[in-house]
Amino acid sequence: MKIRPSISQILLKRRKTLEEQKKQVPLETLMDRLDSDKGNSKYNQPLKDFRESINHDEDVAVICEFKPASPSKGHISDSKIQDALEVFKKAGASAVSILTEENYFNGSMENIRIAQNIIELPILRKDFLMDEYQIYEAKLAGANAVLLMNDVYPDIKQGISLCRELELGYIVECKNMEDIEHSLAAGADVLGVNNRNFQNFNVYLNTTQNLSNIVPPEVVLVSESGVQGPEDAKKVAGYGADAILVGSAIMGTANTEDMYMAAKNIIESVKGLKVVRT
């Protein structure tokens, strides 16, 4: 039986990978490339507003995630990014999330580069961001938003500021009341509540329920992890989530037809169910 890595092991390995990347391609090189791209017609195309795309008047938005593997489940899917994106679009996703962590999620930055050429939906880079380097990297690859995790990204306020400077959206991920208070003080207007406990990797959907009442109504709230189907989706919608991020429940299906039905059923189940938090 394969031993599941701890969150500290995952972060340690991610940091080592990041340091190697920075040696091969320094931050200054990324910034130079970004400056060069500003004259490119693709760079100057209309921005895809991530926050707006997941904040609907009546429907709870669904962010479909390309997730080939995870530390908790191991291998999830052999689906190609192109096939998965076509399914997400056809099913009615509001945005897509793409894992780029290589060691435990089998992700890659190349998948974002592929995605930004073939899909019009906003793209979220999902990874353990620890350094501004990774925000510049996301922008350069064509992402429209990034995930900033409390206790992983060292300065949430600085991360939000850099995202705004680069015209990137973001989700600031929180696991408890302290994280939410800290994120709001940093100016966050999109918060994610992760229903997964990183100490034991178990999922508790009522994490969203317990924390949603302290998230101001003007802030977009995303419920992450643990939604296995329409009933779970309706449950977190009722807790006050404006959007739901779903990966394994869609990616873990047997084929693209089943993937489409899994995504479609979840997306359809939360139409008209948006609850205005007070």
In 3D space, the residue among 87, 97, 98 whose CA is nearest the CA of residue 258 turns out to be 87
What pLDDT, in 10s, does the model give residues 64-92? 999 999 988 899 999 999 999 999 999 99
In 3D space, the residue among 72, 101, 99 whose CA is nearest the CA of residue 11 turns out to be 101
What pLDDT, in 10s, does the model give residues 117-172? 999 999 999 999 999 999 999 999 999 999 999 999 999 999 999 999 999 999 99
pLDDT at position 73, please? 87
Q: With 70 as the cut, is the pLDDT of residue 276 above it?
A: yes
Q: CB–CB of 243/63 below 8 Å?
A: yes
Reported for 7-10, long-range contacts at CB under 8 A and 24+ positions apart, including other chains, are 7/198, 7/199, 10/71, 10/103, 10/104, 10/128
Transcribe the chain into DSSP letters.
-PPPPPHHHHHHHHHHHHHHHHHHS-HHHHHHHHHHHTTSTTTTSPP--HHHHT--SSSPEEEEEE-SEETTTEE-----HHHHHHHHHHHT-SEEEEE---TTT---HHHHHHHHHH--S-EEEES---SHHHHHHHHHHT-SEEEEETTTSS-HHHHHHHHHHTT-EEEEEESSHHHHHHHHHTT-SEEEEE-B-TTT--B-THHHHHHHTTS-TTSEEEEES---SHHHHHHHHHTT-SEEEE-HHHHTSSSHHHHHHHHHHHHHHTTT------
Distance CA 246, CA 67 (A): 10
Transcribe 107-150 into DSSP letters.
--HHHHHHHHHH--S-EEEES---SHHHHHHHHHHT-SEEEEET
pLDDT at position 113, please? 96
What pLDDT, in 10s, does the model give residues 184-241? 999 999 999 999 988 888 899 999 999 999 999 999 999 999 999 999 999 999 999 9
pLDDT at position 48, please? 85
Q: With 70 as the cut, is the pLDDT of residue 45 above it?
A: no
Which domains are assigned to the chain?
7-34+52-269 (3.20.20.70)
Band (pLDDT 50/70/90 cuts) for residue 3 is confident
pTM summary value: 0.96
The 10 Å CB-count burial string (b at 16+, else e) for 88-124 is bbebbbbbbbbbbbeebbbbbbebbebbbeebebbbb
* Degrees to nearest 5, angle at CA 103 with 100 and 109: 20
pLDDT at position 166, please? 95
pLDDT at position 42, please? 57
pLDDT at position 59, please? 98
Percent of the chain with pLDDT over 90: 89
Min mean pLDDT across 2-6, 99-103, 117-121 is at 2-6
pLDDT at position 249, please? 97
Distance CA 154, CA 165 (A): 18
Q: Which two tokens stand for residue 146?
A: 């990034």
Which residue type sits at 172? V
